[in-house]
Amino acid sequence: MRTLLPIFIFLMLSVFTGILPAQTGFFPDDLVVSASALNLRDQPNKTGKVLEKLSRGSTLKFVTAANDGAYETVDDNYGVWLRVQSGTGKTGYVFSTFVTGQFNLYLEGETPLDLLPEQSWYGLYARDSFSDELRAIQVRLATEYNSFREEDTQVLRTNQPDRAKFIIGTTSRLQPGPAGELGIFDPADFYFNDALAPGAMLALLPGSKPDDETPAPPCYLAATGCASLQDDETIAFQDFKLTALLPRPDLPTIRQDLSPWFKTSPGLNPNIRLWWFGDLDGDARPDAIIEDMPEEMGMRISLFLSSRARDGELLRKVCEYWPPLD
Protein backbone atom coordinates (compact mmCIF):
# COMPACT_ATOMS: atom_id res chain seq x y z
CA MET A 1 0.00 0.00 0.00
CA ARG A 2 2.81 2.44 0.89
CA THR A 3 4.65 1.79 -2.37
CA LEU A 4 1.57 2.72 -4.38
CA LEU A 5 0.80 5.90 -2.47
CA PRO A 6 3.40 8.23 -4.08
CA ILE A 7 2.33 7.13 -7.57
CA PHE A 8 -1.32 7.58 -6.65
CA ILE A 9 -0.67 11.09 -5.33
CA PHE A 10 1.23 11.99 -8.54
CA LEU A 11 -1.61 10.79 -10.75
CA MET A 12 -4.20 12.52 -8.59
CA LEU A 13 -2.39 15.84 -8.79
CA SER A 14 -1.87 15.52 -12.54
CA VAL A 15 -5.57 14.93 -13.17
CA PHE A 16 -6.54 17.95 -11.04
CA THR A 17 -4.94 20.23 -13.63
CA GLY A 18 -7.69 19.47 -16.14
CA ILE A 19 -5.16 18.51 -18.79
CA LEU A 20 -2.27 16.12 -18.76
CA PRO A 21 1.15 15.92 -17.17
CA ALA A 22 4.07 17.32 -19.11
CA GLN A 23 6.02 14.16 -18.38
CA THR A 24 3.94 12.36 -21.00
CA GLY A 25 5.08 14.82 -23.68
CA PHE A 26 1.49 15.58 -24.70
CA PHE A 27 -0.79 18.59 -24.45
CA PRO A 28 -3.93 19.02 -26.57
CA ASP A 29 -3.71 21.24 -29.63
CA ASP A 30 -7.03 22.88 -28.74
CA LEU A 31 -7.76 24.20 -25.25
CA VAL A 32 -10.84 25.76 -23.68
CA VAL A 33 -10.98 28.14 -20.72
CA SER A 34 -12.79 26.34 -17.89
CA ALA A 35 -12.54 29.14 -15.29
CA SER A 36 -15.14 31.89 -15.11
CA ALA A 37 -12.40 34.34 -16.19
CA LEU A 38 -8.71 33.94 -16.99
CA ASN A 39 -5.83 36.35 -17.64
CA LEU A 40 -3.57 35.84 -20.65
CA ARG A 41 -0.15 37.09 -19.46
CA ASP A 42 3.04 38.05 -21.27
CA GLN A 43 5.21 36.00 -18.88
CA PRO A 44 4.72 32.55 -17.28
CA ASN A 45 4.07 33.91 -13.80
CA LYS A 46 1.44 35.78 -11.81
CA THR A 47 3.24 39.10 -12.18
CA GLY A 48 3.22 39.00 -15.96
CA LYS A 49 1.41 41.81 -17.76
CA VAL A 50 -2.21 40.97 -18.65
CA LEU A 51 -2.52 40.92 -22.43
CA GLU A 52 -6.16 39.88 -22.59
CA LYS A 53 -8.97 38.84 -20.28
CA LEU A 54 -10.48 35.52 -21.38
CA SER A 55 -14.01 34.42 -20.54
CA ARG A 56 -15.20 30.88 -19.85
CA GLY A 57 -15.42 28.86 -23.07
CA SER A 58 -12.79 30.89 -24.92
CA THR A 59 -10.76 28.67 -27.26
CA LEU A 60 -6.98 28.65 -27.27
CA LYS A 61 -4.28 27.07 -29.42
CA PHE A 62 -1.53 25.31 -27.51
CA VAL A 63 1.98 26.47 -28.47
CA THR A 64 4.31 24.96 -25.88
CA ALA A 65 4.72 24.23 -22.18
CA ALA A 66 6.75 26.91 -20.42
CA ASN A 67 9.74 26.21 -18.15
CA ASP A 68 10.30 22.80 -19.77
CA GLY A 69 6.90 21.68 -18.51
CA ALA A 70 7.86 22.05 -14.85
CA TYR A 71 4.97 21.83 -12.38
CA GLU A 72 4.53 24.48 -9.72
CA THR A 73 1.96 25.66 -7.19
CA VAL A 74 0.17 28.96 -7.78
CA ASP A 75 -2.38 30.03 -5.17
CA ASP A 76 -2.86 26.42 -4.05
CA ASN A 77 -3.33 25.30 -7.68
CA TYR A 78 -0.85 22.72 -9.00
CA GLY A 79 -0.12 22.95 -12.69
CA VAL A 80 2.01 24.12 -15.61
CA TRP A 81 2.30 27.47 -17.36
CA LEU A 82 1.30 27.05 -20.99
CA ARG A 83 2.11 29.31 -23.93
CA VAL A 84 -1.05 29.65 -26.01
CA GLN A 85 -2.60 31.73 -28.77
CA SER A 86 -6.01 33.28 -28.16
CA GLY A 87 -8.81 33.70 -30.67
CA THR A 88 -7.74 37.31 -31.23
CA GLY A 89 -4.26 36.16 -32.27
CA LYS A 90 -2.47 37.25 -29.09
CA THR A 91 0.16 34.88 -27.72
CA GLY A 92 0.77 34.62 -23.99
CA TYR A 93 0.67 32.36 -20.96
CA VAL A 94 -2.11 30.73 -18.92
CA PHE A 95 -1.97 28.35 -15.98
CA SER A 96 -3.08 24.83 -16.86
CA THR A 97 -5.45 24.43 -13.90
CA PHE A 98 -7.87 26.85 -15.56
CA VAL A 99 -8.08 25.28 -19.01
CA THR A 100 -9.18 21.92 -20.32
CA GLY A 101 -8.87 20.06 -23.60
CA GLN A 102 -11.50 20.41 -26.31
CA PHE A 103 -11.95 16.65 -25.91
CA ASN A 104 -11.82 14.65 -22.69
CA LEU A 105 -11.94 10.88 -22.32
CA TYR A 106 -13.37 9.03 -19.30
CA LEU A 107 -14.33 5.53 -18.20
CA GLU A 108 -17.67 4.93 -16.54
CA GLY A 109 -17.55 3.71 -12.95
CA GLU A 110 -14.18 5.31 -12.19
CA THR A 111 -13.39 8.37 -10.08
CA PRO A 112 -12.50 11.36 -12.32
CA LEU A 113 -10.75 13.14 -9.41
CA ASP A 114 -11.26 16.51 -11.08
CA LEU A 115 -14.33 18.67 -11.60
CA LEU A 116 -16.15 17.63 -14.76
CA PRO A 117 -15.83 20.36 -17.40
CA GLU A 118 -18.86 22.08 -18.86
CA GLN A 119 -19.01 20.19 -22.15
CA SER A 120 -21.38 18.14 -24.28
CA TRP A 121 -21.27 14.49 -23.28
CA TYR A 122 -21.37 11.34 -25.38
CA GLY A 123 -21.10 7.65 -24.59
CA LEU A 124 -20.07 4.75 -26.82
CA TYR A 125 -22.33 1.70 -26.48
CA ALA A 126 -22.83 -1.67 -28.13
CA ARG A 127 -25.68 -1.13 -30.61
CA ASP A 128 -26.19 -4.84 -31.22
CA SER A 129 -24.02 -7.91 -31.58
CA PHE A 130 -22.14 -6.43 -34.54
CA SER A 131 -22.05 -2.66 -34.20
CA ASP A 132 -21.51 0.28 -31.85
CA GLU A 133 -23.38 3.54 -31.50
CA LEU A 134 -22.65 6.98 -30.08
CA ARG A 135 -25.30 8.43 -27.76
CA ALA A 136 -25.76 11.92 -26.36
CA ILE A 137 -25.83 11.42 -22.60
CA GLN A 138 -25.93 13.16 -19.25
CA VAL A 139 -23.26 12.45 -16.67
CA ARG A 140 -23.27 12.62 -12.88
CA LEU A 141 -21.06 11.71 -9.95
CA ALA A 142 -22.59 8.91 -7.88
CA THR A 143 -21.45 7.95 -4.39
CA GLU A 144 -20.40 4.29 -4.23
CA TYR A 145 -18.26 2.21 -1.88
CA ASN A 146 -14.65 1.72 -2.98
CA SER A 147 -13.15 -1.46 -1.58
CA PHE A 148 -9.57 -0.37 -2.40
CA ARG A 149 -9.87 2.81 -0.35
CA GLU A 150 -12.36 1.25 2.06
CA GLU A 151 -14.62 4.27 1.87
CA ASP A 152 -17.39 5.83 -0.18
CA THR A 153 -16.14 7.60 -3.32
CA GLN A 154 -17.74 9.44 -6.20
CA VAL A 155 -17.70 7.66 -9.55
CA LEU A 156 -18.80 8.70 -13.02
CA ARG A 157 -22.24 7.44 -14.11
CA THR A 158 -24.60 8.27 -16.98
CA ASN A 159 -28.35 8.42 -17.49
CA GLN A 160 -28.25 5.30 -19.68
CA PRO A 161 -29.37 1.84 -18.45
CA ASP A 162 -26.31 0.05 -19.84
CA ARG A 163 -22.63 0.73 -19.20
CA ALA A 164 -20.67 2.87 -21.65
CA LYS A 165 -17.52 1.48 -23.22
CA PHE A 166 -16.09 4.96 -22.71
CA ILE A 167 -17.33 8.53 -22.32
CA ILE A 168 -16.28 11.66 -24.25
CA GLY A 169 -16.76 15.24 -23.08
CA THR A 170 -16.26 17.84 -25.79
CA THR A 171 -16.96 21.45 -26.69
CA SER A 172 -17.50 20.24 -30.26
CA ARG A 173 -20.71 18.61 -31.45
CA LEU A 174 -20.69 14.93 -32.34
CA GLN A 175 -23.44 13.21 -34.30
CA PRO A 176 -25.15 10.44 -32.30
CA GLY A 177 -25.75 7.24 -34.22
CA PRO A 178 -23.79 4.28 -35.63
CA ALA A 179 -20.11 4.54 -34.78
CA GLY A 180 -18.60 1.38 -36.18
CA GLU A 181 -18.99 -2.32 -36.63
CA LEU A 182 -16.98 -3.46 -33.64
CA GLY A 183 -19.99 -4.25 -31.47
CA ILE A 184 -19.47 -6.60 -28.57
CA PHE A 185 -16.15 -7.68 -30.06
CA ASP A 186 -12.94 -5.98 -29.08
CA PRO A 187 -9.77 -5.97 -31.16
CA ALA A 188 -8.53 -9.07 -29.37
CA ASP A 189 -11.65 -10.97 -30.50
CA PHE A 190 -11.29 -9.70 -34.06
CA TYR A 191 -7.61 -10.43 -34.45
CA PHE A 192 -6.96 -12.94 -31.63
CA ASN A 193 -4.41 -10.45 -30.35
CA ASP A 194 -4.84 -6.70 -29.82
CA ALA A 195 -1.20 -6.10 -28.93
CA LEU A 196 0.72 -3.71 -31.17
CA ALA A 197 4.03 -5.46 -30.65
CA PRO A 198 6.67 -5.64 -33.42
CA GLY A 199 5.27 -7.66 -36.32
CA ALA A 200 1.60 -6.79 -35.70
CA MET A 201 -0.54 -5.15 -38.38
CA LEU A 202 -4.17 -4.37 -37.48
CA ALA A 203 -6.85 -2.85 -39.69
CA LEU A 204 -8.94 0.12 -38.55
CA LEU A 205 -12.43 0.28 -40.08
CA PRO A 206 -14.82 3.23 -39.76
CA GLY A 207 -17.89 1.03 -40.31
CA SER A 208 -20.81 1.79 -42.59
CA LYS A 209 -23.88 3.91 -41.99
CA PRO A 210 -27.38 2.42 -42.29
CA ASP A 211 -28.46 1.90 -45.91
CA ASP A 212 -24.98 2.84 -47.13
CA GLU A 213 -23.29 0.00 -48.98
CA THR A 214 -20.31 2.07 -50.09
CA PRO A 215 -17.21 0.40 -48.69
CA ALA A 216 -15.11 2.72 -46.56
CA PRO A 217 -11.36 2.26 -46.96
CA PRO A 218 -9.55 0.98 -43.86
CA CYS A 219 -6.25 2.24 -42.62
CA TYR A 220 -3.76 0.05 -40.83
CA LEU A 221 -1.60 0.18 -37.74
CA ALA A 222 1.75 -1.50 -38.32
CA ALA A 223 4.14 -2.13 -35.43
CA THR A 224 7.77 -2.71 -36.31
CA GLY A 225 10.96 -3.21 -34.37
CA CYS A 226 13.42 -5.87 -33.34
CA ALA A 227 12.88 -8.53 -30.72
CA SER A 228 15.86 -10.62 -29.70
CA LEU A 229 16.54 -13.35 -27.17
CA GLN A 230 19.09 -12.32 -24.56
CA ASP A 231 21.64 -14.44 -22.68
CA ASP A 232 19.45 -14.32 -19.58
CA GLU A 233 16.61 -15.88 -21.62
CA THR A 234 14.56 -12.68 -21.71
CA ILE A 235 13.34 -10.99 -24.88
CA ALA A 236 14.55 -7.44 -25.56
CA PHE A 237 12.75 -5.02 -27.90
CA GLN A 238 14.53 -2.30 -29.85
CA ASP A 239 13.67 0.38 -32.42
CA PHE A 240 9.91 0.15 -31.86
CA LYS A 241 7.83 2.17 -34.32
CA LEU A 242 4.07 2.41 -34.78
CA THR A 243 2.95 3.52 -38.25
CA ALA A 244 -0.52 4.37 -39.54
CA LEU A 245 -0.84 3.76 -43.27
CA LEU A 246 -3.55 4.12 -45.90
CA PRO A 247 -2.99 2.23 -49.17
CA ARG A 248 -4.55 4.04 -52.15
CA PRO A 249 -5.06 2.54 -55.61
CA ASP A 250 -2.89 4.30 -58.20
CA LEU A 251 -1.60 6.73 -55.52
CA PRO A 252 1.26 6.57 -53.03
CA THR A 253 0.40 5.08 -49.66
CA ILE A 254 -0.03 7.65 -46.90
CA ARG A 255 2.22 6.83 -43.94
CA GLN A 256 2.24 8.51 -40.56
CA ASP A 257 4.59 7.77 -37.67
CA LEU A 258 2.51 7.62 -34.46
CA SER A 259 5.49 6.70 -32.28
CA PRO A 260 6.08 10.22 -30.86
CA TRP A 261 2.74 9.95 -29.04
CA PHE A 262 3.86 6.87 -27.12
CA LYS A 263 6.57 6.29 -24.60
CA THR A 264 8.54 3.06 -24.81
CA SER A 265 11.67 1.99 -22.99
CA PRO A 266 14.52 0.24 -24.85
CA GLY A 267 14.63 -3.44 -23.99
CA LEU A 268 11.11 -3.53 -22.54
CA ASN A 269 7.92 -4.81 -24.15
CA PRO A 270 6.19 -1.77 -25.72
CA ASN A 271 2.88 -2.70 -23.99
CA ILE A 272 0.75 -0.92 -26.59
CA ARG A 273 -2.75 -2.23 -27.39
CA LEU A 274 -5.56 -1.24 -29.73
CA TRP A 275 -8.54 -0.56 -27.47
CA TRP A 276 -11.23 0.39 -29.97
CA PHE A 277 -11.74 1.54 -33.57
CA GLY A 278 -14.69 3.01 -35.47
CA ASP A 279 -15.98 6.43 -36.52
CA LEU A 280 -16.71 8.88 -33.71
CA ASP A 281 -16.50 12.17 -35.58
CA GLY A 282 -18.75 11.22 -38.51
CA ASP A 283 -16.25 11.73 -41.34
CA ALA A 284 -16.39 8.12 -42.61
CA ARG A 285 -12.72 7.64 -41.69
CA PRO A 286 -11.52 5.46 -38.83
CA ASP A 287 -10.77 6.77 -35.36
CA ALA A 288 -8.98 4.79 -32.66
CA ILE A 289 -8.36 4.47 -28.95
CA ILE A 290 -4.92 3.08 -28.13
CA GLU A 291 -3.54 2.05 -24.75
CA ASP A 292 0.06 2.22 -23.64
CA MET A 293 1.93 2.02 -20.35
CA PRO A 294 4.66 4.65 -19.94
CA GLU A 295 7.36 3.52 -17.58
CA GLU A 296 6.44 3.95 -13.87
CA MET A 297 3.42 6.08 -14.70
CA GLY A 298 0.65 3.50 -15.03
CA MET A 299 -1.71 2.89 -17.93
CA ARG A 300 -3.14 5.59 -20.18
CA ILE A 301 -5.62 5.48 -23.04
CA SER A 302 -5.39 7.96 -25.91
CA LEU A 303 -8.11 9.07 -28.32
CA PHE A 304 -7.10 9.64 -31.96
CA LEU A 305 -9.53 11.34 -34.36
CA SER A 306 -9.22 11.41 -38.14
CA SER A 307 -11.06 14.75 -38.42
CA ARG A 308 -8.28 16.46 -36.45
CA ALA A 309 -5.48 15.11 -38.65
CA ARG A 310 -3.23 17.64 -40.32
CA ASP A 311 -1.98 17.51 -43.90
CA GLY A 312 -0.17 14.24 -44.48
CA GLU A 313 -1.68 12.65 -41.36
CA LEU A 314 -4.36 9.99 -40.92
CA LEU A 315 -4.97 10.42 -37.20
CA ARG A 316 -4.22 12.98 -34.52
CA LYS A 317 -4.26 12.55 -30.79
CA VAL A 318 -6.81 14.81 -29.07
CA CYS A 319 -6.74 13.65 -25.45
CA GLU A 320 -5.52 11.02 -23.05
CA TYR A 321 -6.86 9.56 -19.82
CA TRP A 322 -5.08 7.95 -16.89
CA PRO A 323 -7.32 5.47 -15.06
CA PRO A 324 -6.85 5.64 -11.27
CA LEU A 325 -4.62 2.92 -9.86
CA ASP A 326 -7.48 1.36 -7.93
What pLDDT sits at residue 95?
93
Cα-Cα-Cα-Cα dihedral of 272, 277, 283, 284, to 10°?
Answer: 130
Residues 295/30/123/188 CA torsion (nearest 10 deg): -40
pLDDT at 326: 55
Per-residue model confidence (pLDDT) at position 4: 37
Could you give the domains of the chain?
Answer: 29-101 (2.30.30.40), 103-177 (no CATH), 187-321 (no CATH)
- Burial status of residue 182 (CB atoms within 10 A of its CB: 0-12, 13-18, 19 or more): buried
pLDDT per residue, tens digit, the chain (326 aa), is 333 333 333 334 333 334 444 345 678 999 999 888 999 999 999 999 999 999 998 999 999 999 888 888 888 888 899 999 999 999 999 999 899 999 999 999 988 766 788 899 999 999 887 889 999 999 999 998 878 777 888 889 999 999 999 999 999 899 999 998 877 667 777 667 888 988 899 999 898 776 777 777 889 999 999 888 888 777 778 889 999 999 988 899 999 999 999 887 766 778 899 999 999 999 989 999 999 987 666 788 999 999 999 999 999 999 999 887 65
CB of 200 within 8 A of CB of 270?
A: no
Could you give the CA distance from residue 176 to residue 174 in angstroms, rounded to a whole number?
A: 6
> Is the pTM of the predicted complex or chain greater than 0.75?
yes
Q: What are the contacts of 240-246 at 24+ separation with CB within 8 A?
A: 240/198, 240/264, 240/270, 242/196, 242/272, 244/204, 244/219, 244/220, 244/314, 244/315, 245/219, 245/220, 245/314, 246/217, 246/219, 246/220, 246/314
Closest Cα partner for 37 from 49, 55, 50, 17? 55
pLDDT of residue 2: 32
pLDDT value at residue 67: 87
- Sheet containing strand 273-278, edge to edge, reads 273-278, 287-292, 300-305, 316-321
